[in-house]
Every structure is written in structure tokens, then in C-alpha cells.
């Protein structure tokens, strides 16, 4: 298993775009994901950054570091988004590995903390994330905001 920035495997770009969109997108926003990911390939250490977890050449996990996660807390940056582990590989602490890698990468590129917005209760707390309040999403829903220092 190896976590890499998507730029390191340009041969997997189309597959990765499809995976990110299938897990987090909707029928109307494929171009949002495709354009964002393709534009990110120009960045060395600037946001947004997209990461994949590979077992051989199979993508079994993902995450992204973003400038914002389309919520009301525009004062916070960067954001963890698109954390995903393929169902066949869940229960093996792969999510924990991806979260740890995200914290390391966030510090490496010069940020003191990483933020995320979620409606999950109990998952991120297990890995040392602290709830820091609420944000509001683009449809007006309330979302928990978590933070972890790098």
C-alpha cells in the first residue's frame, strides 16, 4: 500500500477523477470534479491537492486537501475532503492511515492545522480531531467542523 499525490501517476488520472466524482459528486457536477482535479495537476505544493492510496495499480482510498469545502467557514484553510476507503478494504485502519498522511502533508506544505466538515459522529474523534463548532453548507444545512493540529 502506498499513498501518493495524484500527479505521481498520470496514467490513473481518468480513473481517479471517476472515483472521486462517483463517491462525492452528483449527476450534475462531473465537470466540477474533472476540472478541479486536472487543474490541480499544475500545482506542486499549492492547494488543491489530491491523493490516492494504491494497492498495486488499484485505487483503494482517496483524500484531498482543499482551500475550502464549500461551506460558510471561509476563514479556515486548508480542508480535508473526499476521504474514502473502498468497502472491500474497510476495517483495516486504512482511514486512519489516510488521515495521518493528510496531517503530515498539511504540515509539510506549511499549515498549522487541518479542518474538515462532516455529519459523522464519533469517527474523527477516535483519531484526535476536535470539534470546533458548526458551519453551514451550500444548501443551508448545519455541519460539524473538526480541526487537528499538524
DSSP labels, the chain = -EEEEGGGGGGGHHHHHHHHHHHH--TT-HHHHHHHHHHHTT-SSSS-EEEEEEETTEEEEEEEEES--SBS-TT---EEEEEEE-GGGTTSSHHHHHHHHHHHHHHHTT-SEEEEEES-SSTGGGGT-EEEEEEEBTTS-EEEEEEEE-
Residue 54 CA to chain centroid, in angstroms? Answer: 15
Which pLDDT score, from 0 to 100, does residue 44 have?
86
pLDDT tens for residues 33-91? 999 999 999 988 999 999 999 999 999 999 999 999 999 999 999 999 999 999 999 99
When computed from its CA atoms, the radius of gyration of the chain, rounded to whole angstroms, is 15
| Closest among 83, 96, 77 to 135, alpha carbons compared | 77
Q: Which residues of 46-85 are buried (b: 16+ CB within 10 A; e: fewer)?
A: ebbbbbbbbeeeebbbbbbbbebbebbbeebbbbbbbbbb
Residue 27, pLDDT > 90, answer no
Domains of the chain, CATH where assigned: 2-111 (3.40.630.30)
Q: Cell 485502519, residue? A: 93
State yes or no: pLDDT of 136 exceeds 90: yes
| pLDDT value, residue 16 | 97
pLDDT exceeds 90 at position 109: yes
Amino acid at each position: 500500500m502506498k499513498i501518493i499525490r495524484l500527479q505521481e501517476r498520470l496514467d490513473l488520472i481518468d480513473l481517479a477523477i471517476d472515483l472521486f466524482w462517483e463517491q462525492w459528486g452528483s449527476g450534475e457536477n462531473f465537470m466540477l470534479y474533472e476540472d478541479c482535479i486536472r487543474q490541480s495537476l499544475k500545482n506542486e505544493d499549492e492547494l488543491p491537492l489530491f491523493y490516492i492510496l494504491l494497492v498495486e495499480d488499484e485505487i483503494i482510498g482517496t483524500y484531498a486537501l482543499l482551500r475550502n469545502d464549500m461551506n460558510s467557514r471561509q476563514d479556515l484553510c486548508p480542508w480535508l475532503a473526499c476521504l474514502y476507503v473502498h468497502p472491500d478494504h474497510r476495517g483495516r485502519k486504512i482511514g486512519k492511515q489516510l488521515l495521518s498522511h493528510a496531517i503530515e502533508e498539511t504540515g509539510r506544505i506549511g499549515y498549522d492545522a487541518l479542518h474538515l466538515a462532516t455529519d459523522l459522529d464519533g469517527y474523527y474523534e477516535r483519531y484526535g480531531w476536535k470539534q470546533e463548532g458548526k458551519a453551514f453548507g451550500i444548501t443551508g444545512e448545519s455541519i460539524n467542523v473538526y480541526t487537528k493540529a499538524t
